Chain A
Amino acid sequence: MNSIILFSVFALYLLILLIIGVFSYRRGMGSAEDYFMAGRSFGTLVLFMSLFGTNVTAFALIGMPGLAYHAGVGVFGYFGAIGAFVTPLTFVLLGYPIWQLGKRHGYMTQAHMFGDRWQSEAISYLFFGLIILYTIPYLIIGLMGGGIAIEAISKGVVPYAVAAGFVAGVTVLYTSLGGMRGTAWTNVFQASIFLAFLMVAFFSISAKLGGMTALHQRLVAEALPLVGKQHPRLAPGIWATGFLVGPLSVIAFPHIFMRLMTARDAKALRKTTLIYPWGLILLYLPITLLGVWGALDIPGLVGQESDKILPLLVAKHLPVWLSAVGLAAILAAVMSSLDGQILTLSTMIAVDVFAHKSHKAIPLVGRVGVIVIAAIAFAIALLRPAGIFDVAVYAFSGYTLIVPIMAFGLFWKRSTKTGVITGMLLGHGLLAAYYLGFKFPTFGTFPVFPCIIIESLVVVLISFLTSPPPQDIVRRFDNPFGALPQQTR
């Protein structure tokens, strides 16, 4: 009976995704601009939900309560509060210029925009290569997360390989059918599912455990350290530079970068920016508290065992049908990021590599790219590489190093291609060297902190030592906060 309910809810969830994919395919115009960017036509709701759904990964529903289980309520300040400010702030400072340039000149990818900014194929290739390098581990982790979640909740009835293959297959189907429109509309549905599930789980579990005030009185009496910030993951140096690795890097994610350019107008972007912090708070506040309550209700989980705390709480306190919705919510978080990443990589291959082909062929290249990328990620996910999570931490830091380069391109006219290439090679090279074993001193901060300073200083220094770029090229990037001409709005 339990299995029937579980699979019925799961099947319904997947069916809705496919229906949305088919529906958005029928709405498509067939052009590259429409397939990859949905005609840059999203209003506030779709823009917000697609950015939010893509930004929130399975880490929020699995890893964050798992960490709060050990480290306590400080996790909210470390991930939630600072993220709710820094990420939207990057939307204010970099998001509008990116959107405006995309609208004016038809840019779709970072390689395209910044290669053009410095008139340099080398910079295009650097962006292309680095972004592929940093995004592939996330695809693999997403598939592994989906496979592990289904296998665990179905109690092994669905084996890992079948589950991961199924997640990949469904994501490929609706992404290749619907393109950007399909992924954004499914993101609206997926973000609604995980937010709604979280609210229901939060209030139901709190009531079952005797109410919030009673729970927190117990927390203070029995586990006082969990209301402080003593955990090594929350040490002051890590705390102070944590925003560099998480919130600041978000705007450099290619799937977020592309989605920002799909806004219909500045108003949609402005409203999304102001709503964004509260979407993150609605997610991070309950998920942190659920993790901390888990430490009181189901004590004794060691190490990464605590990553199961949300499913364990749900299974212990909620009815089976709600557990099934919980599985759908975890999958929604996984798939809403996976689809964005797959679509973005296929866009990069189609636009950055095959741009010289006829415009009609480009969406087809994109669709084939979706299938090929997902197949490669699935093949690696089957091997379940042990070191993949370390690679992911490295990749996050790598995205962070792309942010100052984007800022130089948008705001500093004097920056030169030689300065940017040297800075990028040095910054990303140092970061790679650190994770490969060359442990330079970081003074208790994240390793990306010294790298970002060195990268930026080198760009400035070499730019001043080399000839200024021709003004006719720079003019295209003039006035980053100016209004768009009427006809291109």
Chain B
Amino acid sequence: MRRARILAIAGTGVLFVLHNNWWNWQPDATLLFGLPVDLVYRVLWVVASTGILWLALRGWWGATE
């Protein structure tokens, strides 16, 4: 549980930095799977964030079952 909490807190920090991707604020003409690359990046970000949510659930709700 403790490890899951630490990983969830660290993961949230990393997600916040990746959310504020100020190094890539300009338009990017690349298409990935037919979608603008920023959209693909955001969807992958949400996939990663679901993993962090799962860790947070394990870390804080471990004793609830």
Contacts and interface: CB of A to CB of B under 8 A. Distances in A.
A248 to B, nearest CB: 12
Given A77-B38, A212-B35, A236 B22 contact: yes
Contacts of B19: 77, 81-82
A1 interface: no
Given A82-B19, A228-B38, A274-B50, 11 more contacts: A81-B45, A85-B15, A89-B12, A89-B53, A96-B60, A219-B36, A228-B26, A240-B20, A266-B64, A277-B46, A481-B64
Interface residues of A, number: 46
A224 B64 CA distance: 50
Contacts of A212: 34-35
B27 A266 contact: no
Interface in A344-394: none
Given A81-B46, A481-B64, A229 B53 contact: no
A441 interface: no
Contacts of B22: 236
Q: Which label, helix, strand, loop or mixed, suits the secondary structure of the A interface?
A: helix
A266 B65 CA distance: 7
A251 to B, nearest CB: 14
Nearest to B52: A85
Secondary structure type dominating chain B contacts: helix
A93 B60 contact: yes
Contact of B53 (A92, A217, A240): A92
A196 to B, nearest CB: 21
Nearest to A481: B60
Given A85-B49, A274-B50, A274-B54, A216 B36 contact: yes
9 contacts: A85-B49, A92-B57, A96-B61, A96-B64, A216-B31, A220-B36, A227-B27, A240-B20, A285-B43
A413 interface: no
B64 A220 contact: no
Nearest to A85: B49
Interface in B19-49: 19-20, 22, 25-29, 31, 34-39, 41-43, 45-46, 49
Nearest to B22: A236
B15 to A, nearest CB: 7
A288 B36 CA distance: 12
Contacts of B49: 81, 84-85, 277
Contacts of A88: 53
Contacts of B28: 227-228
Given A93-B56, A228-B27, A81 B42 contact: yes
B65 to A, nearest CB: 7
Interface in A208-261: 211-213, 216-217, 219-220, 224-230, 236, 239-240
A211 B37 CA distance: 17
B34 A216 contact: yes
Contacts of B29: 220, 224, 227
A202 to B, nearest CB: 13
In the A-B complex, the 9 residue pairs with the closest CB atoms: A228-B27, A213-B34, A85-B49, A81-B42, A227-B36, A77-B42, A220-B29, A266-B64, A92-B56
Contacts of A226: 27
